[in-house]
Amino acid sequence: ETGVTQTPRHLVMGMTNKKSLKCEQHLGHNAMYWYKQSAKKPLELMFVYNFKEQTENNSVPSRFSPECPNSSHLFLHLHTLQPEDSALYLCASSLEGSTGELFFGEGSRLTVL
């Protein structure tokens, strides 16, 4: 148990569906992240929320939209995805001003048909 919980663990969706990934952290951290993990590629940072302010990677398509209602919860809303979006989506949290360690959840495995 890392203190970062992601649901669902597995998701299969069609290209016209709308779904959401959820992340919750119980560590008292104030920064949360979405990473995309594809085979044989580096972990790709998608979005960062520091003190509820969002910073994003400009290369992330608009079919991914994050939401951070408070410092403990983070969502990734998905709509009209493409098959190449199939990947493991990892949520992480950290405490700003600390060592810089990221605490990852176990990920949500997404398959787009």
**Residues lying near other proteins in the complex (CB under 8 A):** 2, 4, 31, 33, 40-43, 45, 48, 50, 55, 90, 92, 94, 96, 99-102, 104-107
- 17 or 95, CB closer to other proteins? 95
Q: How far is 9 from 75, CA to CA, in rounded Å?
A: 14
Token pair recorded at residue 88: 């493991």
Q: How far is the CB of 61 from other proteins (least distance, A)?
A: 20
Q: How far is the CB of 17 from other proteins (least distance, A)?
A: 25
Question: Exposed, middle or buried by CB within 10 Å (0-12, 13-18, 19+), for 62?
Answer: exposed
CA angle 35, 40, 42 (to 5 degrees): 40
Q: How far is 46 from 8, CA to CA, in rounded Å?
A: 19
- 15 or 38, CB closer to other proteins? 38
Q: How far is the CB of 12 from other proteins (least distance, A)?
A: 17
- 31 or 78, CB closer to other proteins? 31
Compute φ and ψ for 85, nearest 5 degrees.
-85, -5
Q: How far is the CB of 18 from other proteins (least distance, A)?
A: 25
- 4 or 78, CB closer to other proteins? 4
